[in-house]
Amino acid sequence: MVSIITGDIINSRDSEPKEWLPVLKKEFNKYGGEPKSWEIFRGDSFQLEVNKTKGLRAALLIKAAIKQNSDIDVRMAIGIGTKSHNADKITEANGTAFINSGHCFEHLKRNTLAVETGHDAIDYPLNIMIDLAALTTDNWTPTAAETLKAALEHPNYNQKELAKLLEKTQSNISAGLKRYGYDEIIKLLNYYEQQTQTL
């Protein structure tokens, strides 16, 4: 079982690719090499494979990386399932994870993030929670995105260490994490990982 994230950049035409493409590639390279683990196609669309329980964490880190550019956002569908054909290119592989991801992406509409596992009892509550989280995540400022990305990437850092890393005051970090809903995001990630572990 794997997670396949299918996505595209929102408002990519409003921004030069050189402003976001290297950021996206840097994020993807954490999960493996191109084109086996990830691929960018049609200029602003992409597909990425990650561990079955880590899809939401990966998606939020991608969003936080992209939202540091205030002109653009990213839309992503996480599909969890099997990978029945292992191709040299991720876009040529298949299985239920790819089918679920593609189907989920086609039905995103105005939402920017959703998950499909093929199990309604898991998908329904998770997607309600993700929609609620999006009230915050879709409105991340570049500063919020930078702070949350650092906190998610360094879960063992205390606020003093995060402040040093980001060259900010500890009080700024403390207020920012509270304002940006960091504790609630961590609760959501923990719940998501518990639920998807059962698949």
pLDDT attached to residue 169:
97
Give the phi and the psi of residue 175 in degrees, each rounded to 5.
-65, -40
| Res 14: pLDDT | 85
Q: At 75, phi and psi to the nearest 5?
A: -115, 130
The answer on pLDDT for 3 being more than 90 is yes
Only one residue has tokens 């690719």, namely: 17
Cis peptide before 35 (omega within 30 of 0): yes
Averaged pLDDT for residues 171-196: 97
8 Å CB contact between 149 and 65: yes
CATH number at residue 24: 3.30.70.270
Mean pLDDT across the stretch 46-63? Answer: 98
CA angle in degrees (0–180, nearest 5) for 51-45-194? 25
CB 48 within 8 A of CB 90: yes
Cβ-in-10-Å burial (0-12, 13-18, 19+) of 136 comes to middle
The span from the CA of 86 to the CA of 30, in Å, is 20
Q: Quote the mean pLDDT of the chain.
A: 96
Query: For the chain, what is the domain count?
Result: 1
Amino acid symbol at 32 = G
Burial class (CB in 10 A: 0-12, 13-18, 19+), 113: buried
DSSP state of 105: H
Q: Is the pLDDT of residue 70 over 90?
A: no
The C-alpha angle with vertex 95 and arms to 131 and 197, in degrees rounded to 5, equals: 50
User: Directed axis angle between helix 159-166 and helix 142-153, to 10°?
Assistant: 130
Share of the chain above pLDDT 90, in %: 93
pLDDT of 13: 87
Q: Which two tokens stand for residue 19?
A: 């402003």
pLDDT digits (tens, 9 = 90+) for 123-167: 999 999 999 999 999 999 999 999 999 999 999 999 999 999 999
Task: Quick: pLDDT tens for 81-119.
Answer: 999 988 999 999 999 999 999 999 999 989 999 999 999
Record the pTM. Answer: 0.97
